[in-house]
């Protein structure tokens, strides 16, 4: 009889402990916050590919903004009636005046140049950002407000590129797609600002040419502008790729699935 009594109490104790444990487990699960969705390996690989494309745009933007070959200004090669002629090239921060030999210039070319020819060069930084003085190139005066506006747009676009890169780095390190949409905003905005800086810079060049007509000049945008323009297009494209990858129903996945099914 006593043995049956102890066995019954042990079963009741086990049942009560199990009930308390189950209730506590339910309460613990109810109190936990829902976890953020984790990205798959295929999604992570696509994000890395889009990030690589965006980094190409960042590299081209930094290269173009740091060089002084945004525009080339060249006078007629026989303007001075001697053996040399002058041309200038400048960017956002610095301008250079080059003296070239007329004999080295292509006979079919009417203006001085190109800038790749050997000659003497004199480069100076603009004083817009220190003393506020306008620069004078071939007796023509630069427009400080337009030039500085283009430079500020370029600098702010670089800031957005850095912020977008940080968002993608955090997204890959945490393995969550939460930071893809902020990265989209940063990269697309930086690409638009880069293209706007080119437009504003070109307006400043036109204002420079219109300031004085005593010296006829031929002008053309140079390879730095090509780098910056390509960077703007690549940054916008990379930002749109991040936007597609952040959507629940990713259109890129459908494209890859249709391509794989057609191949099979």
pLDDT, position 79? 86
Q: How far is CA 102 from CA 23, 126, 255, in A?
A: 93, 28, 57
pLDDT at 113: 86
**Per-residue pLDDT for 136 more than 70?**
yes
Separation between Cα atoms, residue 103 and residue 83, nearest integer Å: 7
For residue 41, CA distances in Å to 24, 38, 48, 130 come to 35, 10, 11, 51
Q: In terms of DSSP H, where are the helices of 67-130?
A: none
3-state helix, strand, coil in the chain (%, to 5): 60, 15, 25
For 174-228, the pLDDT digits (tens) are: 888 888 999 999 999 999 999 999 999 999 999 999 988 888 899 999 999 999 9
Whole-number pLDDT of residue 261: 54
CATH code for the domain defined by 41-248? 1.20.140.150
What ranges do the domains of the chain cover?
Answer: 41-248
Query: What is the per-residue pLDDT for 35?
Result: 56
Separation between Cα atoms, residue 244 and residue 255, nearest integer Å: 12
The more confident residue out of 15 and 75 is: 75
pLDDT of residue 264: 53
Residue 124, number of CB atoms within 10 A of its CB = 11
Is residue 234 over pLDDT 50? yes
pLDDT for residue 66: 94
The predicted structure's pLDDT at residue 21: 45
pTM of the model: 0.79
Environment class of 33 (CB within 10 Å of its CB; exposed 0-12, middle 13-18, buried 19+): exposed
| Contacts with 209 (C-beta within 8 Å, 6 or more apart), sequence order | 73, 140, 217, 219
Q: In a 3-state reduction of DSSP, which class is residue 199?
A: helix
Between 83 and 42, residue with greater pLDDT = 83
Report the C-alpha gap between 127 and 205 in whole angstroms.
17
pLDDT value at residue 16: 46
């Amino acid at each position: 009889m006593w043995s049956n009594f102890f066995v019954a109490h042990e079963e009741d104790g086990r049942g009560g402990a199990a009930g308390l444990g189950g209730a506590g487990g339910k309460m613990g699960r109810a109190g936990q916050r829902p976890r953020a969705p984790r990205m798959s390996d295929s999604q992570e690989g696509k994000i890395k590919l889009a990030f690589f494309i965006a980094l190409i745009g960042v590299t081209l933007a930094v290269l173009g903004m740091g060089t002084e070959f945004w525009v080339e200004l060249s006078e007629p090669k026989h303007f001075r009636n001697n053996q040399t002629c002058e041309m200038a090239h400048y960017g956002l921060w610095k301008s250079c005046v080059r003296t070239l030999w007329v004999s080295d210039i292509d006979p079919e070319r009417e203006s001085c140049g190109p800038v790749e020819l050997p000659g003497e060069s004199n480069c100076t930084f603009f004083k817009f950002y220190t003393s506020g003085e306008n620069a004078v190139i071939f007796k023509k005066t630069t427009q400080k407000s337009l030039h500085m506006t283009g430079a500020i747009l370029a600098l702010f676009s670089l800031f957005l590129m850095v912020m977008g890169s940080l968002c993608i780095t955090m997204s890959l390190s945490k393995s969550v797609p939460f930071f893809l949409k902020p990265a989209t905003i940063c990269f697309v905005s930086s690409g638009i600002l880069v293209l706007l800086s080119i437009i504003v810079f070109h307006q400043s060049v036109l204002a420079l040419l219109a300031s004085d007509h005593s010296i006829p000049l031929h002008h053309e945008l140079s390879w730095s502008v090509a780098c910056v323009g390509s960077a703007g297009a690549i940054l916008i494209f990379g930002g749109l790729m991040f936007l597609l990858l952040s959507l629940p129903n990713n259109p890129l996945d459908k494209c890859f699935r249709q391509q794989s099914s057609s191949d099979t």
